[in-house]
Chains A and B, each alone.
Chain A
Amino acid sequence: MISFASFPVPSQNETQGMTRHHPDVEDDIDMDEGFEEGFHRLTSPGEPLTSSQAFMRGHGTYIDNDEVISSVAGTVERVNKLISVRAVRSRYNPEVGDLVVGRITEVQPRRWKVDANSRQDAVLMLSSVNLPGGVQRRKLESDELQMRTFFEEGDLLVAEVQAFFADGAMSLHTRSLRYGKLRNGQLVTVPPALIRRLKSHFLSLPCGVDLILGLNGYIWASKHVKQSEQEGEEAFDAEAVYSNKNDDIDDATRLAISRVSNIIRILAAHFIPLTDTLLLDAYEWAVEQEGDVKDLLQADIGDAMIATIAARD
């Protein structure tokens, strides 16, 4: 049967329940602030920002009829004469030099395709990885034939953005001893906006957990590896770098990794950017609670955690 009385569905916790009747109230929520630098102004698509004669348009804007108009919803940013809008939440926008964590999706002739949460899969050229037998040497045909022994589909790796192709796809490189295949841990995904640029994206937490914060929002939480062990001797140990075997991980470390991962998930769910102090505070709190690691993911415990660490600031 078709019901002919329209009842509003009861609002859930995150809804805007507002009725607007046709020509009724004409209220406007536009803001008339100027463009002070460092001041956040929010905008939404189609909203005129300023005249295009006085300003230049940056990302997230377009020009129509001598006006700079926003094309995404987010904060307006101004650097001198350049107006851009940063979307609150979007896919990862790569920049050269960024550290990213990615997953191999495809092995192609002389290159790997890597999913890095961006608009296109990134490319890792065979010439941009370290190969067994010396850091610098020529790529041989035999290397090409055994590409799958280095990385195969599904492998996770940490790399740096090297350059861009003409169509905007990024090219990665792993030519550092710190980069390469990831083992001994788990991947946590958060919105890329929550990862700030830090001095170092390799964090070593005192609880025996290493974190790699990829700027693309992929985070690798793994067992701590001693610095000396990782670097080995001066020579590059290909077998260790491209190994697919996890080391022995004891239960305490496993617990710590899961706890850190869950904390990251909660922080991401509350849209709070990750910092090492925040993580440590949260970790301390989580240990004090003496609950199971999985209890952290319950809404009330998560909220309590956020409340506590926010108060500590």
Chain B
Amino acid sequence: MSSRVEILNDGGYRSDGRRQYELRDIDIDLSQQGTADGCCTITHGLTQVLVTVFGPKEAKMRSQTLHDRAVINVEMNVLPFSTGERRRRARADRRILELAATIKSTFEPVVQTTLYPRSQIDIFVQVLQQDGGLLHACINATTLALISAGIPMTDFVCAVSGGVHSTSPLLDLTTLEENDLPHMTVAVMPRTGKVTLVALETRLHVDRFADIFRLAGDAGQALHKEMKRAVKSRATRLVGAMETGMKPPMGGADAFERDVVMEDKMSF
């Protein structure tokens, strides 16, 4: 489906008014959902993903347990109303199975599973809305959900998608842009700058690849700051509530002056 919309106009703006290297608005919601141990709803522009984490807990399938580490189990569900055309996807859709397998293998080396032998960590990914960048939203949301569940990880995993329009690289593509441009998703671990995931599925010249690849790595670092801010402000709030009942947090509060004061509400 080729569109008649200009991907990047002469003024250097994209179809939704962003610049080349501009990411879409990111909303991170770490509020508690039901009985989950950790959860995160992340909104990248119009893409919205909800991830809930259960565990580490007793493995349900005894045959699947590992004696020296925890098993990570990822279930992914794309809601039928998440795309423009309403379509019910089979649970065993290969594309979804592949995404789930990708998320699983991305987090297996990052989560310190050896601390929880014979346990199981369940990750449930619900795609609420899709507008491009599905994989990167899923990975970012999973990182945050695991952190909010208090599961030890060596580092954040921050993913960004990137594409190229003729010779100019773009970041964080929408569905419209993804349909027209070669694009890829890169996930980095910010502390070491190493790359855990690269997924390119469209034809792209080797030289262009290097450009976007490096750019997406940098963007991952920027995203990391945003994610870290969300994690820390949640921690500040919870620690504050624990320390003094309702009074504002004591230690380290001055470092978060810029943060929005948030309503402290978690619904059951």
Contacts and interface: CB of A to CB of B under 8 A. Distances in A.
The short answer to whether A and B are in direct contact, CB under 8 Å, is yes
Interface of A: 1-9, 11-24, 27-29, 31, 33, 39-42, 44-48, 60, 62, 64, 69, 71-75, 87-91, 105, 113, 115, 119-121, 167-169, 189, 193-194, 265, 268-273, 278, 299, 306-307, 309-310, 313
A273 B242 contact: yes
B141 to A, nearest CB: 13
20 contacts: A3-B131, A5-B16, A6-B25, A8-B24, A9-B48, A13-B265, A17-B27, A21-B22, A23-B222, A44-B156, A60-B152, A87-B152, A120-B56, A120-B58, A121-B58, A193-B242, A270-B246, A270-B265, A271-B242, A306-B246
Contact of A89 (B152, B229, B238): B238
A46 B43 CA distance: 23
A88 B234 contact: yes
Contacts of A1: 84
A91 B16 contact: no
Contact of A6 (B16, B148, B250, B268): B16
Interface of B: 5, 15-19, 21-31, 35, 37-38, 43, 45-46, 48, 55-58, 67, 70, 84, 112, 116-119, 131, 147-156, 171, 174-176, 179, 189-191, 215, 218-219, 222-223, 225-226, 228-239, 241-243, 245-247, 250-252, 255-256, 259-260, 262-268
B27 A15 contact: yes
Given A44-B228, A310-B245, A2 B176 contact: yes
A269 B267 contact: yes
Nearest to A114: B58
A13 B262 contact: yes
B2 to A, nearest CB: 13
A307 B225 CA distance: 33
Most B CB contacts (10 A, CB to CB) among A20, A69, A299 go to A20
